[in-house]
Structure 1
């Protein structure tokens, strides 16, 4: 598992850094980013297909009541919102928070230039699957449970890196650290099973996608 995790982790960042640049001479940056994302999704699923199947079976065996599980996810969603509101409220005492959310604004602008199918694939399939495999499974999953300091260090580094990758500026941590905390909590709560985190990530992004299209319709 450590070998696969290393391949996915370093492969993800190499493709993210180089992929779009290599494709941009032949297509728009939005199309290039979409193609790179789909290639990463295919790569991650092929690499971890057996592990994902085993973790799904473990999740279903340990979670017979899916209704209660998704109810818990909704609860976590509202906890995330409360944490975000609290973080922004505190940050607002020290700086101008009107510029927060530039990453989301960029995503909204990109979404307007893509089909609904492309947006669904990116937000509800690519992001939950690839990001949970890279930032949770590959970074926290390979280590033995008795290796306490490595687990603590990898958890902190994973949380920092995931939040940093979604932020345009340091203040954006107030927006993205809450979901990082929730996703990390879910991963550990289910004994480092990546499936529950993927499902929460899916629910969160599906709500965001629905709200985005609602705003498009109103505008």
Structure 2
């Protein structure tokens, strides 16, 4: 039995002979001095929307947590297991990040599940269904809009859920305090996998707009 799949080993070979070789001193400094990222990104675990790739980040630049549909649960110190909240706690209290970005994306499977409440659960535990209940009220409202197409409902809920997660961030006392003191800024972003477009949320209106509208993605065929 192989220790790792071949494609992972080939990828590692490419990394160690390429990027690591070119940035050896950076990696050694990170190992010696620790990480000091200024930005945390809360992204979806979808394999097509990796924030390090989208933002072209160098080692140590982004502190990333990924979960289904890039959701942030409300502050709830109840003694249960809270992976996203634990990552937020570390980023804010230990790393002192200056920015938190909630980044969603088009064609999100978690959002699709939220818009299909009658679909058969993937497992008896229905972990995805429970997790996506965080946006159930919004999903029910968007899903009931018969004037929108299925694609429009999908995109609408993807963006609404980003606004919802940014609001949930402010339920964490340390985050709210640091934002009020001007030490931390909260952002929303949405990435279109098909076109490569990046949209950012206006902090005042909640609308999404393209911050680099003058840069056109390469044309696609088909």
State the TM bucket, normalised to the shorter chain: 0.3 to 0.5
Greater C-alpha radius of gyration:
2
Structure with a larger share of its residues in helix: 1
TM-score (norm 1): 0.35
* Larger RCO, structure (CA 8 Å, separation 6 or more): 1
